[in-house]
Amino acid sequence: MFPLARAAQSLVARGIQHTAVRGAHRKHEPTFHDKYGTMVLLGGASMFTAVWGYVLTSLNIEWGFSPVGRVTPSE
């Protein structure tokens, strides 16, 4: 049983080595995310900030819903 396990292990190791060598020799071409990923992320973050900045400053949202100081007790 031991020689069979060793043969299976070497076969798996050889397959991993072949895959690694194949990937190392391939020319890496930049993908969309390599080219534009940071710009898309920054653009989305700035749009998010601009929209929420507009919403939070232009709408008349009354902050602090606590009635303390605004409600007087009845007699």
Q: What is the pLDDT of residues 13-56, one digit of tens each?
A: 777 777 766 666 666 788 888 888 999 999 999 999 999 999 88
Q: Is the pTM of this model over 0.95?
A: no
Q: Which two tokens stand for residue 27?
A: 């020319």
> What's the confidence (pLDDT) of residue 38?
92
Q: Please give the single-letter amino acid code of residue 30.
A: P
Q: Would you say residue 75 lies in a domain?
A: no
Number of domains composing the chain? 1
Residue with tokens 């940071």: 38
Residue 7 domain boundaries: 2-59
Is 12 inside any structural domain?
yes
Question: Is 37 domain-assigned?
Answer: yes
Please, which pLDDT band fits residue 3 given cuts at 50, 70 and 90? Answer: confident
CATH number for position 55? 4.10.51
Considering the domain boundaries, does residue 73 fall inside one? Answer: no
Task: Look up residue 11 and give its amino acid.
Answer: L
Cα–Cα distance for residue pair 41/39, rounded to 1 Å = 5
